[in-house]
Structure 1
Amino acid sequence: MNIKLLAIGKTDSSDLERLVNQYENRLKHYIKFDLEVIPDIKNVKNLSESQQKDKEADAILKKLNSTDFVVLLDENGKQYNSVEFANYLQKIMNMGTKQLVFIIGGPYGFSDILYKKTKGKISLSKMTFSHQMVRLFIVEQIYRGFTILKNEPYHHQ
């Protein structure tokens, strides 16, 4: 299985980017992982929130395959602890999924178009985080999930 993380907009913090890269490199020992950044939508001042979400959805949909297992990182999604998340990853792998795609949306969330095309929603917390921080948190949790599945000492309980 491959895992892809799609995110809207670039990270303006080199420190965060360095940390995300660190976990990306660690993940290579377990699974093929790609982080793909979709450029911010241009001229958003002239767009409503809904129009902006629809344009972001169009850009995201161009990056997806019909066989992808797509999960939105959404504040209203299901919350997991780390062990439960590891088991969720295992379940998706056991289904024979070729590619699992996590999506981080833009500042206003997701268009209804995307909600209809996905297999699920995950919330990392009841708190709100910047989209840049979410990249780090999800990549670290994916890494943590694989160390849990392999019974490696990274995760302590």
Structure 2
Amino acid sequence: MAKMIFLTVGSLKNKACLALQEEYLGRIRHYTSCELIEARDATQKIPESENLLKKIGSGDFVVLLDEKGKTVSSTGLAQQIQKWNGQGLKRVVWIVGGAFGVAEEIKKKANLVLSLSSLTLPHELARVVFFEQIYRAFTILKGEKYHHE
């Protein structure tokens, strides 16, 4: 199974969001190896994106979360993760950009661009929703009683 790298900009300051993020990361670790990397934030897209690019390896499969990305259902996300595992990928790098989004260079580097919602979400809340959806995807793949359709 591919190692999941969650590459985000900045650290969470909201204690409730931080607690939820840690809860879901702990749950995700029951299913796969994962690592949270928090790149330094900046006040502009270009420096933030340069910080992100330094963390991406040449063989990484890169998934960018962007409001203009493709929307998928929770089941669709689970199927996508299963597909990647079947392809023998070593690392899947998920990028959650900062409040200003990401520079074009990051968008070009992405193998896939997904959207969590057509709504605009605060950065900290988007991170929590994202980690919950990754956890949900794994429970779907394992047939566990968490997701209901």
* Fold in common (TM above 0.5): yes
Percent identity between matched residues is 40
Find the aligned partners of 2:141 and 2:11 in 1 and give their Cα distance: 31
Counting matched residue pairs gives 148
1:141 paired with 2:114, answer: no
The counterpart of 2:78, out of the listed 66, 79, 86, is 86
> The residue matched to 1:138 in structure 2 has which SS?
helix
Structure 1 partner of 2:114: 122
1:53 paired with 2:45, answer: yes
Find the aligned partners of 1:106 and 1:24 in 2 and give their Cα distance: 19
Deviation at 1:131, TM superposition (A): 1.1
Structure 1 partner of 2:100: 108
Structure 2 partner of 1:4: 5
Structure 2 partner of 1:38: 39
The counterpart of 1:73, out of the listed 59, 65, 70, is 65
Q: What code does the residue aligned with 1:12 have?
A: K
CA deviation vs aligned residue, 1:98-128 (integer Å, no higher than 9, x gap): 1111111122211111111110100000001
> The residue matched to 1:70 in structure 2 has which SS?
strand
Structure 2 partner of 1:19: 20
Find the aligned partners of 1:95 and 1:11 in 2 and give their Cα distance: 33
Structure 2 partner of 1:64: 56
TM-score normalised by length of structure 2: 0.96
Q: What code does the residue aligned with 1:148 have?
A: I
- Unaligned stretches of 5+ in structure 1? 45-51
> The residue matched to 2:93 in structure 1 has which SS?
strand
